Amino acid sequence: MSTLTARSSIDDAAVIGLRESFRGEVVGPADTGYDEQRKVWNGSIDRKPGLIARCAGVADVRAAVRFGREHGLVVAVRGGGHSFPGLSVCDDGLLIDLGLMKGIRVDPEAGTARAQAGVLLGELDRETQAFGLAVPSGIVTHTGMAGLTLGGGIGWIMRKYGLTVDQLVSVDVVTADGEFVKASDNENADLFWGIRGGGGNFGIVTDFEFRLNPLGPQVMAGPVFWPMEDATEVLRFYRDWIGDCPDELMTIVVQRKAPALPVVPPDLVGKHVVAVAACYTGPVEDGERVLRPLKQFGHPVLDLCAPKPFLAHQKMFDPSFRHGWWYYFRSCDVAGLTDEVIDIVVEHGRRITSPITSIALWQMGGAVARVGEDETAFNGRDAGFTFNINGNSETADGFEAERQWARDYWSALAPYHTGVYVNFLMEEGEERVRQAYGAEKYDRLKALKRTYDPTNFFRLNQNITPD
Ligand SMILES: Cc1cc2nc3c(=O)[nH]c(=O)nc-3n(C[C@H](O)[C@H](O)[C@H](O)COP(=O)(O)OP(=O)(O)OC[C@H]3O[C@@H](n4cnc5c(N)ncnc54)[C@H](O)[C@@H]3O)c2cc1C
């Protein structure tokens, strides 16, 4: 057995050759730092790759892909490591880690930004917000920009500016045979279509170019909390209130036990609450006016919705999704918040036991729904709401019960499911991936897979098989 790669069949000479050619770092099981480098965000995932290739640039990515192919290795690709089911790490094979590739360049005059594949959302926001600009992305700053973008990308400013992929201008890609190609509307347009929602199925994207949009830096944003006992009235009011709201307003309903955070009064911590978190992508005064009815409804127990820097708002959920906790997710889209759906939400919200279990119910629509369904591989632009049901525990202790709670909640909603966002899937099998894309789009994606990755070299993802 190799000392360098104790868990794989790769011989030492080959690994030494790769190490010598690499600008980044090649880490094997016997190397210092191996256990740190194989970790992903979800603590319930514990896999041991044979080798970790920490790429410093495109040349390293190409070398790693060729190495994986020559040695017939299972290959995982990691951007930010936030795949819920841990698809960005493998046992035994080769992990191609892009985390060192952190380059970001904002061009305020052209209104574009370029970001390499290891950039996290908070890092991109920090650079773009320095110019009062933003790329629509997600709601937790330590999420990887790469994986999020490749699945579509939903977040606080999407109802105004669309999905992350709607602001994507071009990408650089290393294909399954280690070749370098570019894709945009004008070059390899079929690949560009597939990359905007089709995940990592077609190659490794090393560089993303986005269009920028004006934002803040000050926004009216934050959550308003009510006791869970008031959830039926709050949710019915919420449904009617957002019925004709402007695209500038984006909201997420949260159910959980109030977290032990400095902003939460001690007597509220641990109590079941329902919250509506908002972000207004426009002038603060307009946001204050639009949000007033929400803030005045019923008897909120805590109101943290106020003018603040967008960067501060973006970090709001970070402490609730720490690295290393155990996470289990179920997700579905629903068309609307009918009384029946609200009853299910209220019933299951009351049953939350873990202090870190929660749901996020995303308001969709706005600019997302105005892009044609066929324009990108992302599917479900007409979704009314997206449920993200998180059964979480800090360790293995109690995880099974949380998992069961999430499954039960999701199953109760089954009669109302309309689809699912591919980035919110666990490892649920091919049929669910097909559901996420819809049959027609899935067939188109399969054809693209046959062109760009006929041997399914990139398979540790929400896999679109070539056959
Ligand atoms: C705490 C948390 C918050 C989230 N919030 C949001 C949100 O607000 N909005 C939203 O839309 N989604 C959200 N998600 C889901 C998120 O979009 C996906 O988990 C996404 O895959 C994460 O990207 P990553 O680069 O961190 O993941 P990774 O685990 O590194 O990768 C995910 C998948 O993409 C592939 N991949 C990664 N980088 C590349 C690349 N450069 N080229 C080719 N393939 C690649 C991987 O192989 C893997 O299959 C969230 C997830 C978490 C854990």
* Smallest CA separation from ligand 1 atom 36, residue: 147
Residues 6+ apart with CB under 8 A from 308: 218, 219, 221, 222
DSSP-assigned states of every residue in 130-160: TTTEE----S-TTSBHHHHHHH----TTHHH
Torsion of CA 188, 192, 198, 200, to 10 degrees: 70
What's the residue count for the chain? 467
238: CA distance to ligand 1 center in Å? 30
b/e per residue, 261-271, with b = 16+ CB within 10 A? eeebeeebeee
Q: Residue 309: which H helix or E strand, with range?
A: strand 306-309
Q: Measured from the CB, is residue 119 less than 6 Å from ligand 1?
A: no
Question: Which DSSP letter does residue 120 get?
Answer: B
| Best CA proximity match to 345, nearest among 235, 258, 243 | 235
Q: Measured from the CB, is residue 345 less than 6 Å from ligand 1?
A: no
Q: 317: alpha, beta or left, given left = phi > 0 and alpha = psi -120 to 50?
A: alpha
* Smallest CA separation from ligand 1 atom 9, residue: 138
Beta pairing, strands 302-303 & 218-227: antiparallel
Tell me if residue 340 falls in helix, strand or coil: helix
Contact 169, 114 (CB under 8 A): no
423: CA distance to ligand 1 center in Å? 7
Q: Measured from the CB, is residue 87 less than 6 Å from ligand 1?
A: yes
- How far apart are the two ends of the chain, measured CA to CA in Å? 35
Q: Measured from the CB, is residue 81 less than 6 Å from ligand 1?
A: yes
Cross-strand partners of 251: 278
Can you tell me the distance from the alpha carbon of 97 to that of 95, in angstroms, rounded to the nearest whole number? 6
Q: Which of 60, 82, 102 to mutate to test the pocket of ligand 1 (most atoms within 8 A of CB)?
A: 82
Q: Measured from the CB, is residue 144 less than 6 Å from ligand 1?
A: yes
Return averaged pLDDT per consecutive 10 residues of the chain, 467 residues in all. Answer: 48 92 97 97 98 98 97 97 98 97 98 98 98 98 98 98 98 98 98 98 98 98 98 98 97 98 97 98 98 98 98 97 98 98 98 98 98 97 98 98 98 98 97 97 98 98 97
Question: Residue 255, exposed/middle/buried by CB under 10 A (0-12, 13-18, 19+)?
Answer: buried
Torsion of CA 426, 366, 115, 61, to 10 degrees: 30
Tell me if residue 22 falls in helix, strand or coil: coil
Residues 6+ apart with CB under 8 A from 9: 2, 50, 71
Q: Measured from the CB, is residue 423 less than 6 Å from ligand 1?
A: yes
161: CA distance to ligand 1 center in Å? 20
* Whole-structure pTM value: 0.97
Cross-strand partners of 383: none
316: CA distance to ligand 1 center in Å? 19
Q: Which pLDDT score is estimated for 12?
A: 86
Residue 466 tokens read as 């070539």
Give the residue carrying structure tokens 């191996």: 34
* Smallest CA separation from ligand 1 atom 28, residue: 81
* Smallest CA separation from ligand 1 atom 33, residue: 147
Tell me if residue 240 falls in helix, strand or coil: helix
Can you tell me the distance from the alpha carbon of 243 to that of 117, in angstroms, rounded to the nearest whole number? 37
Index of the ligand 1 atom closest to the CA of residue 460:
49
| Best CA proximity match to 367, nearest among 181, 84, 161 | 161
Can you tell me the distance from the alpha carbon of 100 to that of 33, in angstroms, rounded to the nearest whole number? 15
Q: Which pLDDT score is estimated for 11?
A: 81
Give the residue carrying structure tokens 């990592």: 200
Q: Which of 41, 143, 386 to mutate to test the pocket of ligand 1 (most atoms within 8 A of CB)?
A: 143
Q: Measured from the CB, is residue 317 less than 6 Å from ligand 1?
A: no
Q: Measured from the CB, is residue 150 less than 6 Å from ligand 1?
A: yes
CA distances from 133 to 148, 215, 280, 411, 412 (A): 19, 5, 15, 40, 41
* Smallest CA separation from ligand 1 atom 17, residue: 148
Q: Which pLDDT score is estimated for 3?
A: 38
Cross-strand partners of 303: 224
Question: Which DSSP letter does residue 258 get?
Answer: P
Q: Which pLDDT score is estimated for 8?
A: 55
| Best CA proximity match to 424, nearest among 357, 317, 360, 331 | 331
137: CA distance to ligand 1 center in Å? 11
Q: Measured from the CB, is residue 320 less than 6 Å from ligand 1?
A: no
323: CA distance to ligand 1 center in Å? 14
| Best CA proximity match to 445, nearest among 150, 173, 174, 92 | 150
* Smallest CA separation from ligand 1 atom 16, residue: 148
Q: Measured from the CB, is residue 147 less than 6 Å from ligand 1?
A: yes
* Smallest CA separation from ligand 1 atom 13, residue: 138
